[in-house]
Amino acid sequence: MNRKFIVSTTINGPTEAIRRFDALADWTLIVVGDHKTPPDYHLESGIYLSPDDQEKLAPELSRLIGWNCIQRRNLGFVLALDEGADIVATVDDDNIPYDHWGTGLLVGNTVPIRTYLTGDGCFDPIGVTEHAHLWHRGFPLQLLAGRDYTQYEIREIRVDVQADFWDGDPDIDAVCRMEHAPDIAFDERSFPFAADATSPFNSQNTFLTADALRRYFMVPFVGRMDDIWAAYHLQSLGYRVAYARSSVRQERNPQDLTRNMVDEFIGYERNAEMVAAIGAGTYDFRDFWPEQACQAYDAYLRRVDA
């Protein structure tokens, strides 16, 4: 039987979402704390990885990532791999799981799946749903006007990553959220699907095989592109993502949308260039990531490959 882990980070006490994940049978929850996390944080069944625990687990990686950031989640990935995980779900503490969460998984399997043919180097997964006026966070804004998803075929693909969708407040960027302020439910008939091009996926409700997780790294020092650039990098290595129906409802934690927009600006500037380089076969993460982020990724690779 597959060993299955859930990894999250938080600066809050246990939320409704965390309590539900903690109660799931056949899954082990790991919550990665930070300096702002309540010191008396407690799980009923899962593992709380305190700041001191993290320093002992991977001291070099801990130092290079720094504190008070969601990229501490990388330490949870290290622990899950150390514990022999086969499948790891990365989730946020404001994503409340539905009863079917984590069931009927495609990840780790080779399956026939509707695969969209894009021809433009990047695919927007929200663009093929009934809410195509929205777009996924991290999709290059320069490509919005050219989205055309009328062509697809059924292909057999090995699913290394399964990115489940999210009802409620979906994962769109700050510009899109300012304009539309959506509260929606996605029609499950749109799913599952994949694409023939690089596409953004996030870290809030996503399943990865252990093999993929060993190369997946939430990138520090790049604001709200941390998981998007992780997704693009993983796909540059040949790992494949499939998108599946909503399995959570996001009750989004309070956000400052102007601050979010500032934190996303590096993506508005560089995402189009990044996906073009991936498509051309010239991509090197060191051309895009800050130097300390590259050093942290090198430390992550040394740790998980040890």
Which pLDDT band holds residue 255 (cuts at 50, 70, 90)? Answer: confident
Contact 76, 58 (CB under 8 A): no
Is residue 279 pLDDT above 60, yes or no? Answer: yes
Is residue 182 pLDDT above 90, yes or no? Answer: no
What is the average pLDDT across 112-138? 95
Contact 34, 51 (CB under 8 A): yes
User: So where are the chain's domains?
Assistant: 4-304
Q: Which long-range contacts (CB under 8 A, 24 or more apart) does 174-182 make?
A: 174/257, 174/258, 174/260, 174/261, 174/264, 175/141, 175/261, 176/134, 176/135, 176/137, 177/257, 177/260, 178/257, 178/261, 180/133, 180/134, 182/131, 182/134
Q: Return the pLDDT at 6.
A: 98
Which pLDDT band holds residue 149 (cuts at 50, 70, 90)? Answer: very high
pLDDT > 70: percent of the chain: 99
* Cα distance between residue 101 and residue 247, in whole Å: 5
Q: Tell me if the domain spanning 4-304 has CATH number 3.90.550.
A: yes
Q: What does pLDDT average to over the chain?
A: 95
Q: Which long-range contacts (CB under 8 A, 24 or more apart) does 11-15 make?
A: 11/36, 11/37, 11/68, 12/37, 12/38, 12/93, 12/253, 13/38, 13/41, 14/41, 14/42, 14/43, 15/93, 15/94
Residue 253: C-alpha distances to residues 11, 89, 94 (Å)? 11, 20, 6
Contact 225, 272 (CB under 8 A): no
What is the average pLDDT across 10-15? 94
Q: Return the pLDDT at 257.
A: 86
Backbone angles phi, psi at 278, to 5 degrees: -65, -45
Is residue 208 pLDDT above 70, yes or no? Answer: yes
Q: Return the pLDDT at 67.
A: 96
What is the average pLDDT across 36-56? 96
Q: What is the pLDDT of residues 49-100, one digit of tens each?
A: 999 999 999 999 999 999 999 999 999 999 999 999 999 999 999 999 999 9
Q: Which residues contact 145 (CB under 8 A, 6 or more apart)?
A: none
Backbone angles phi, psi at 65, to 5 degrees: -75, -40
Q: Which residues contact 5 (CB under 8 A, 6 or more apart)?
A: 27, 28, 29, 30, 80, 83, 85, 87, 88, 89
Query: What six digits make up the tokens of 179?
Result: 């304009």
* Cα distance between residue 242 and residue 234, in whole Å: 13
What is the average pLDDT across 117-145? 94
What is the average pLDDT across 255-279? 92
Q: Return the pLDDT at 176.
A: 85
pTM score, whole prediction: 0.96
Element (H, E) at 36: none
Contact 79, 228 (CB under 8 A): no
Which pLDDT band holds residue 1 (cuts at 50, 70, 90)? Answer: low
Counting DSSP H helices and E strands in the chain, the numbers are: 9, 11
